[in-house]
Structure 1
Amino acid sequence: MTTTTDPSYVDPALINPRALRLVEAFKDALARLRDEEGLTFDDLNAVTDLFQQLQKATGAPLALVAMPLYGELFQGGRDGYTPSEDVKSPTVIPGSPRIDNPGTLPMRPDEPGTPLIVSGRVLDGHGQPLAGARLEIYHAANNGNYSGLYDDGVPKYNLRGHLFTDADGHYTFTTVTPVAYADEYAMAIDSVVEAAAALGRSLYRPAHIHYEVHHPDLITPWFGEIYFKGDPVIPVDFVGSKLAHPALQADTALHENPEDIAAHGFQGPYRTMEFDFVLKTRTSPDTITPKGEKA
Structure 2
Amino acid sequence: MTSTTPAPWETVDPALINPRAVRLVEAFKDALARMRDEHGLTFDDLNTVTTLLTQLHDATGVPLSLCAMPLFSEVFQGGGDGYTISEDVDSPTCIPGSPMIDNPGTLPMRPDEPGVPLVASGRVLDGYGNPLAGAEMVIYHASNDGIYSGIWDDGQPKYNLRGRQITDTEGRYAFTTITPVPYSNTPSQAVDAVAAAAAALGRSLYRPAHIHYEIHHPRLLKPYRGEVYFAGDPVIPVDFVGPKIAAPSLQADTTLHDDPQDIAAHGFDRPFNTAVFDFVLKTPTSPDTAVRPLQTAWPEPKPKPQVWPS
Task: Give me the TM-score of the superposition, normalised by structure 1.
Answer: 0.90
Letter aligned with residue 290 of structure 2: T
Match status 1:261 vs 2:252? no
1:100 aligned residue (94, 98, 102) = 102
Residue 77 to residue 46, structure 1, CA distance change in 2 (3 Å): closer
* 1:85 and 1:223 in contact (8 A); partners too: no
For each residue in 1:119-149, what CA deviation from the matched residue of structure 2 results, as whole angstroms up to 9, or x when unmatched? 0111122322111111111111111111222
Deviation at 1:43, TM superposition (A): 0.1
Number of residues paired by the alignment? 292
2:297 matched residue in structure 1: none
8 Å Cα contact 1:113/1:142 also seen in 2? yes
- Tell me which residue corresponds to 2:165: 163
Task: Please show how residues 141-156 of structure 1 align to structure 2 within 5 Å.
Answer: 141-156=143-158
What does 1:37-76 align with in structure 2 at a 5 Å threshold?
37-75=39-77
Point out the more displaced range, 132-141 or 88-97: 88-97
Distance in 2 separating the partners of 1:139 and 1:6: 51
* Mean CA deviation greater in 26-35 or 55-64: 55-64
Distance 1:258 1:85, change over 3 A: farther
The partner residue of 1:138 within 140, 163, 182 is 140
Q: Secondary structure at the match of 1:205?
A: coil
- Find the counterpart in structure 2 of residue 221 from structure 1: 223
What secondary structure, in the 3-state scheme, does the structure 2 residue paired with 1:20 have? helix
Give CA deviations for 1:227-273 in whole Å, capped at 9, x if unaligned.
Answer: 11110011111111212122211111111222111111111211110
Q: Which amino acid aligns with 1:289?
A: A
2:123/2:279 contact within 8 Å kept: yes
Report if the CA contact (8 A) 1:84-1:224 is conserved. Answer: no
Instruction: Determine if the alignment matches structure 1 residue 194 to structure 2 residue 218.
Output: no
User: Deviation of residue 198 (structure 1)?
Assistant: 1.3
The answer on whether the counterparts of 2:106 and 2:177 sit within 8 Å (CA) in structure 1 is yes
Show structure 1 runs of 5+ residues with no match: none
Query: Any idea what the Cα deviations from partners look like across 1:43-67, whole Å, max 9, x if unmatched?
Result: 0111111112212322323222212
Measured after TM superposition, the shift of residue 23 of structure 1 is 2.5
Q: CA deviation at 1:14?
A: 4.3
Opposite residue 49 of structure 1, the aligned amino acid is T
Letter in 2 for 1:288: T
1:3 is matched with which residue?
5
From the superposition, tell whether residues 19 and 150 of structure 1 become closer, same or farther in structure 2 (CA, over 3 Å): closer
The CA deviation string for residues 5-36 of structure 1, in whole angstroms up to 9 with x for no partner, is 69666455544444333333222221121112
- Find the aligned partners of 1:152 and 1:83 in 2 and give their Cα distance: 33
**Identity over aligned residues, as a percent?**
69
TM-score, normalization by structure 2: 0.86
Quickly say closer, same or farther: Cα 1:205–1:15, change in 2 above 3 A: same
Which SS does the other structure have where 1:118 is aligned? Answer: strand
Residue identity in the other structure for 1:225: E
- CA change 1:23–1:4 in 2 (3 A) is closer
Residue 2 of structure 1: how far off its partner (Å): 6.1
Secondary structure of the equivalent of 2:55? helix
Aligned equivalent of 2:306: none
Letter matched to residue 191 of structure 1: A
- Report the AA paired with residue 257 of structure 2: H
Matching of residue 129 in structure 1 with residue 131 in structure 2: yes
